[in-house]
Homo-oligomer: A and B are copies of this chain.
Amino acid sequence: MTRLVMKFGGTSMADLERIRRAARIVAAEAKAGKRVAVVVSAMAGKTNELVAWTDGAGAPAAGIPLSDDEYDVVVASGEQVTSGLLALTLRNMGFRARSMMGWQVPILTDDAHGKARIEDIPGDQLSGVLDGGEIVVIPGFQGVTRDGRITTLGRGGSDTSAVAVAAALDCPCDIYTDVDGVYTTDPRIESRARRLSRVSYEEMLEMASLGAKVLQTRSVELAMARRVPVRVLSSFVEPDENGNLPAAVGTLICDEEEIVEKRIVSGVTMSRDEARITLLGLSDRTDAPADVFTRLAEANVNVDMIVQSQSRTEGAVNLTFTTGRRDAARAAELMREAQDQIGFEQLRIDEDVAKVSVVGVGMRSHAGVAQTMFRALADKGVKFQAISTSEIKISVLIDAAYAELAVRALHAAYGLEAV
């Protein structure tokens, strides 16, 4: 029999009424003859409450080892509650169902508490329960170390749990969420945005890391590595009077080869989570940039775009780079602390920037993609301050005030309203 993993997020588990709606969707797939494993998040808001309690308990005193092991014990309880409640609701609807906690499956992780990585999911026991005809409900976000301690995967980790369970069961994964798929761009910015029926893993990975918040980046990486077909579907569907789901719409995330009509550009993304730092009058010693980026790397600050330009000062350059906004203050402080060793005249920090990107696997084989982008931006008078590219994306850093304008201009320039 066909197997299927279905995942429901926190808004789909927010109260008993929503849990019943999720249960009706699960029931429809079970009635259609599928062996279903469901992965669930905690009730919306619950994880924040639990995290706040652990914060309130305070940090370990001097001499006590720092570990997030007990944070994990507290925070993992939210998904335990919803998985039990969904199993009970399914029984109420006439299905045999049971929960399996992370330690029962088991979902084996490393011991990096609070941000653990899944290492292995031995599928035997889970398969046995599924083949016995029971629907299995698994709490997302949680796992267990090999020596039996509870772990969590970091915020948003339930998507990753779902894909990992699907990989273990060698089956597809349906992610039910509050949007009905992946769009060419954010429909709140461009009303002509269209839902993509298919998108490749590579494109989705770029979109996820560039600010499209449909899926966790890690879950897409894992789906790509294990070749798990992932569908993004709306949890606001309702089975008909016979308990059947409407024909699946949503977006399938799959291998590039399974996408027959390849688009040059699939989507336009925008992120405001950027900050630009410029070191003016940096010594033109050849090792000065290396010094800068080594210091940042050692402090775990990720740098995205880098631009070097001539300075007005003789024998000096200006070095501009971008970081996540959260890291910007720390990056600036690191630079100022080492101003003499690095050797620069002045530091400027600008958070009023946005990164706009176009993503598409078709770029690999089509010239002129960058040209179209730059012309579209120039036509609207949008100047860009930095550029970065990969094989399948081009990003530009612009003044934040122009972000939405740029998204709409690019969406039109690549004809995405007609996808």
Contact = CB atoms under 8 A, between A and B. Distances in A.
B73 A16 contact: no
A59 interface: yes
A126 to B, nearest CB: 13
Given A58-B92, A77-B77, A80-B80, 14 more contacts: A58-B88, A59-B92, A60-B91, A61-B92, A63-B94, A64-B91, A64-B96, A70-B84, A70-B87, A71-B84, A72-B84, A74-B81, A74-B84, A104-B149
Nearest to A93: B61
Nearest to A96: B64
Nearest to A20: B57
Contact of A88 (B19, B70, B80, B83): B70
Copy total for this chain: 2
13 contacts: A16-B57, A57-B88, A59-B92, A61-B92, A64-B96, A69-B98, A70-B91, A70-B99, A71-B88, A72-B84, A77-B81, A77-B84, A80-B80
B64 A104 contact: no
A133 B183 CA distance: 55
The 4 nearest A-B residue pairs measured at CB: A58-B92, A73-B84, A74-B84, A61-B94
A226 to B, nearest CB: 27
Nearest to A103: B103
A101 interface: yes
A89 interface: yes
B88 A54 contact: yes
A95 interface: yes
Contacts of A57: 16, 19, 85, 88-89, 92
Central interface residue in A62, A74, A150, by most chain B CB within 10 Å: A74
A53 interface: yes
A61 B258 CA distance: 42
Interface of A: 16, 19, 50, 53-54, 56-65, 69-74, 76-78, 80-81, 83-85, 87-89, 91-96, 98-99, 101, 103-104, 148-150
A172 B303 CA distance: 58
A92 B95 CA distance: 46
Central interface residue in A63, A70, A87, A89, by most chain B CB within 10 Å: A70
Contact of A80 (B63, B74, B84): B74
A175 B81 CA distance: 28
B50 A81 contact: yes
Contacts of A83: 73
Nearest to A150: B101
B91 A54 contact: no
A91 B74 CA distance: 15
A370 to B, nearest CB: 52
Contacts of A104: 148-149
Contacts of A61: 91-94
Contacts of A98: 69-70
Nearest to A139: B73
B81 A16 contact: no
Contacts of A81: 50, 53, 74, 77
Nearest to A83: B73
A106 to B, nearest CB: 10
A393 to B, nearest CB: 41
Contacts of A59: 92
Nearest to A68: B88
A24 B217 CA distance: 43
A73 B104 CA distance: 12
A62 B94 contact: yes
Contacts of A150: 101
Contacts of A58: 88-89, 92
